[in-house]
Structure 1
Amino acid sequence: MTEESEQDQTAQELTGVELRRLSRRSFLWAGAGVAGSLSLLSVFNKKAPDDGTGIKRVFRKAHETNEEIAKFLISGRNAPTFPAARAVEPRNNYHGITPEPDLANWHLTLGDAQNPETTQKFTLADLKTLPEVTLTTELKCVEGWSAIVTWTGCRFVDFARKYPPLPGTKYVSLRSEPEGFDEAWYYVGLDVESALHPQTLLAWGMNGEPLTTEHGAPLRLAIPTKYGIKNIKLITNITYETERPKDYWAEQGYDFYAGL
């Protein structure tokens, strides 16, 4: 073997040794990194407090930051509107037991957390004395689908003008508490600015027809500036609130504001 060949062989052997050494070092560093990450995650899960609903407070704070940004960007803006000819029937994402409303005895209860004695009740006929509005807007779901729908009802802002909240009201709670259910079937909270947006409707009609049971008869919320999770069906109770009310999906970790 020539001197040059011996040098090449020696270089290859040294390279192999160096690669094995580097591989072992990389493996050790990777293992240390994984162990460190798991340790930090364990500490985070033990030490990071939740917000009372099982959601880590740090994540809730991130939602709140996003909410403030969304409010700034969306404030004063309207959702797009469309020709009624493009309206379709939206999906019904709830596949459990849909409450059958007793339409003959249904009424809407309005309360104010600051003055519970002022509770009022309205029939659908009462609501229809308010100016009727028809809007064709897009209903967007957090699952990724959307549908253009024509809604008919009264603007929440017109309802609130006739039945105003007390000064200091910051939120509106909307609940579905149908007969035969021991607790609210569904519930959402809105900041009062979103509730009073000119496109927010208390809707009793869809695509030129009365609401069906699966789509929220006799009254639902149509709020195109929010995702579908805020468009509560079968509304039975509305309460003006000074503190942020319960919200079904916010309790599951979703953003309370849910703005588009």
Structure 2
Amino acid sequence: MSDIVYLDSHFVPKEQAKISVFDRGFLFADAVYEVTAVIDGQLIDFNGHFQRLQRSCKELGLSLPITKELLVDVHHELIEKNNLHEGLIYLQITRGADSSRFFDFPSSSVPSTIVAFVQHSTVVNHPNAKKGISVISVEDIRWQRCDIKTVALLAACLAKHHAHQQGADDAILIKDGYITEGSSSNFFIVNRDNEIITRPLSQDILPGITRQAIIQLAQEEGLKITERRFTLDEAKKAKEAFISSATTLIWPVISIDNEDINQGAVGHLSQRLRDIYLDKALKK
């Protein structure tokens, strides 16, 4: 059976999900998106994702054309119609389709385009969560509003593609000598004093929903966590490193630029945080 896609108030087979060539998401990347994990048929951290969606729309002056309650219903119906036990739901909202390609925003009468679809994938028992991943460092060439979750992801695609060409699993981004985040994730290190360190929120990084959950969990567990900038050299000398996102939850990083972290072994603290996160997420 074909997957079912939500498109502008209708549920249709994915082959029938079509948008206009004049849609501003297609022409200008004038769109925002969210990705929510699904485990055991449950939405994970949906409230946080919706709040960030509201913020992204506000920052772009983009009307949010759907209520939280209706969006929850859409997600649940996608889970049911696609028999999604574990995976992801991708949501995208664009400024809609005008009949031309003008840079100015269209009039308010132009309806937004809303698309949502499922991705069947392994979230809980993904092999990378157990074995860890290798990353390489690349220059952060993204635009200056990385705090808004837009679909302008070409720089991230280039970073990931370059990493894969070099035989690595992913890339971490460097700006002005400091690590900002992963190509599609937030980035953490653990120093020799077991202090968990991640970059503070600013326009340079995405306010990750999983990132915030990790910070809260660490505080609840009495672990020391600090938000500050850190260099690539400090990361390479760290006791542990890991990435976080809705897609990965927490994946340990065991190599940066072909230099082993923790002698190439998955660290205890990153694995502990992942276990705690999963335990609490599934009890909500």
TM range (shorter): under 0.3
TM-score normalised by length of structure 1: 0.24
Structure with the larger strand share: 2
Higher relative contact order (CA closer than 8 Å, sequence separation 6+): 1
The normalised TM-score by structure 2 is: 0.23
